[in-house]
Structure 1
Amino acid sequence: MPAWNEARGLLPFVFTGSAAAKSGGLGMVFAPVDEATPARLFAIYGPVTELATSRVMQSRLGLVREVYVTGHAHQLRRLSERLTAAGLAGTLLAGRRSRTVAVASGLALAAGSALQRFSVFEAGVASAKDPKYVVVPQRERLDQRRAHQHES
């Protein structure tokens, strides 16, 4: 999948942050507020890692960036970012004082994590359906090799 291949250097960090956000969120849902400090730490550092790395990844992608910022993948990604940011905000603002806020924040983080993964999946599918994401980069690499050979 071209979208996954081009993002391979940063996707593990996006997924690790997403997994930490989800696990922290679920920990906040199921643990009593006064015993959920480890879960809250995951619910803080996970979303920060996920959101920041996702933005960096998006800025570094070439042509295949299109599949991440358009269509169904983009819609899922935007909703994921909103839920993740809301879950993070709730965790920071009142997650240690209010059971209701902790549960709502935890559920938002878990949902945001799932949507992040679905958005990456959808971007991969979209990139595989359009041959330009395979053909154009291949042509560019061939042109670079030819130019390099002519220099030699």
Structure 2
Amino acid sequence: MENLPLDSLAIIIVIFTISSLIYFSIRTWRTNSLFQQGINFYQTKDYQNAEKYFRQVIAINSTNDVVHLLLGDTLMQQQQVEAAISKYEEVINRAPKKIDAHLRLANALLLQNQQKEAIDILKQAEDYFQSKRYVNELARLKEILQKIESQFN
């Protein structure tokens, strides 16, 4: 590369940069399109197709917690509770501040008559939000926890 004139090196860098931008633009457009199709299928209660599209989005971007939660919801609608629980736990492990993941996991456990486990999950979340001083999430969580505990005590 030392033999290339400086102009040639600049051209190569520009071409590489433009190619990268095009690649990421296409990838983003495709991900958004698949996500929207999954949402559309979910809203029309076609959960099998929604699952298929959410899994495709995850294959492209495995760190999108919203899609993992929606996939869990889709699995719940198909009575695949264990698979949904696994998705919710995956999100909690990766992003413990996602209160929706804790609530969805607790709900799934309640549907399986695992009240103690659901309460334990919510208490763990309560401790986490308390330690991080997430006031809004903590208040919401305490309210839900009180309702559940009063039902099962």
Is the pair's TM-score, using the shorter chain for normalization, greater than 0.5?
Answer: no
Bin for the TM-score computed over the shorter chain: under 0.3
Larger CA Rg, structure 1 vs 2: 2
Looking at both structures, which has the greater relative contact order when contacts are Cα pairs under 8 Å and sequence separation is at least 6?
1
TM-score by length of 2: 0.27
